[in-house]
Amino acid sequence: NAGVTQTPKFQVLKTGQSMTLQCAQDMNHNSMYWYRQDPGMGLRLIYYSASEGTTDKGEVPNGYNVSRLNKREFSLRLESAAPSQTSVYFCASSPVPISGNTIYFGEGSWLTVV
């Protein structure tokens, strides 16, 4: 039972490079999310997809783009990486886009931009 799977787990990028973080869930959840975690800042929402075919900005969307490829997959793209995007990124999913639903997180992707 995989849950939420994200790749890669570790990545080092040079400033200006681009990359895509991949995420897939096997729980048939409608909603998917991308968070970043920084020391002392907790978890901040970058983008979310309430349901297949929709995406919305979260708290910190600048510098990122997302694609909800199908119900299972939600990718996060950094078009031109900056050192400020060094962070741990978590993909997550939940059953329905309403309050009160558990969010299930992946194991994280450690990204360093040099």
Partner 1 sequence: GENVEQHPSTLSVQEGDSAVIKCTYSDSASNYFPWYKQELGKGPQLIIDIRSNVGEKKDQRIAVTLNKTAKHFSLHITETQPEDSAVYFCAASIGGTGGFKTIFGAGTRLFVKA
**Of the two residues 79 and 107, which places its CB atom closer to partner 1 in the complex?**
107
Bridge partners of residue 12, in order along the sequence: 112
Q: 47, 48, 64, 74: which one contacts partner 1 (CB under 8 A)?
A: 48
Between residue 55 and residue 114, which ones bind partner 1 under the rule CB under 8 A?
A: 56, 58, 90, 92, 97-103, 105-108
- What one-character-per-residue DSSP string does 44-58 give? EEEEEESSTT--EE-
First to last CA, the chain: 35
- Binding positions for partner 1, rule: CB under 8 A: 4, 31, 40-45, 48, 50, 56, 58, 90, 92, 97-103, 105-108
